[in-house]
Amino acid sequence: MAHNGLGELAPLEGEIADAAAHYREALLANARSDNERAARVTELNLALVLIAQGEFAEADAILARAGAFLVRRNRIALASAVSVSRLATAAGLGDWPAWDAHFARLVDHPPPIDPDTARVAEAAGQLCREVGDRARAWRALEIARRTWESLGRTDDLARCREAIAALGDAA
């Protein structure tokens, strides 16, 4: 569990590569202890770091496993958070049918109100914007905007609103 905590602290200190290393160590420790729940949390954290590093294929493989586990356990809110993360991996991989499928899941099962959800939705929006897909960028950024707004995070909300405004009339 210590490595998971160190993984959470590392990005705050600008050490994203260290975060990935700590999460990988935590996964090994979780495997030795058969702690399935802790392993899933660590996998989700590792996937977020991999997305930030642009390692979309590895992140997506981790998210697919974690998402399937969460659906089997009827943890729909967390599975929805995985769908938001997979918007970013699909955008990073240019897999637009997958992006659409992940987004469609969110219509019936909105993601949890959580800073990680907002951050990864913003990342997905920026990845879509970078390839000129303003409509998908707007949809992802709207998830982030609603989440930041619900959290009362005014600085993050303002940044997100600027990104949406920069898209123009994309809806």
Q: Could you tell me the two tokens for 59?
A: 């992140």
Residue 42's pLDDT band, with cuts at 50, 70 and 90, is confident
pLDDT digits (tens, 9 = 90+) for 58-108: 999 999 999 998 899 998 988 999 999 999 999 999 999 999 999 999 999
| 22 and 40 co-located in one domain | yes
Q: What is the pTM of this model?
A: 0.84
Give the 3-state secondary structure of residue 13: helix
Residue ranges making up the domain that contains 36: 1-74
| 81 and 70 co-located in one domain | no
Residue finishing a domain among 74, 98, 123: 74
The domain tally of the chain equals 2
Give the residue among 61, 50, 57 at the shortest CA–CA distance from 16: 50
Residue finishing a domain among 26, 54, 74: 74
pLDDT digits (tens, 9 = 90+) for 103-137: 999 999 999 999 999 999 999 999 999 999 999 99
| 137 and 68 co-located in one domain | no
Give the whole-angstrom CA distance, residue 69 versus residue 49: 20
Burial environment of residue 144 by CB neighbours within 10 A (0 to 12, 13 to 18, 19 or more): buried
| 50 and 101 co-located in one domain | no
Hey, how many other C-beta atoms are within 10 angstroms of the C-beta on 135? 10
Residue finishing a domain among 13, 48, 74: 74
| 117 and 35 co-located in one domain | no
* Average pLDDT, rounded, for the chain: 85
For residue 91, what pLDDT is reported?
98
Q: Is 7's pLDDT higher than 50? A: no
Where is pLDDT greater, at 83 or 39? 83
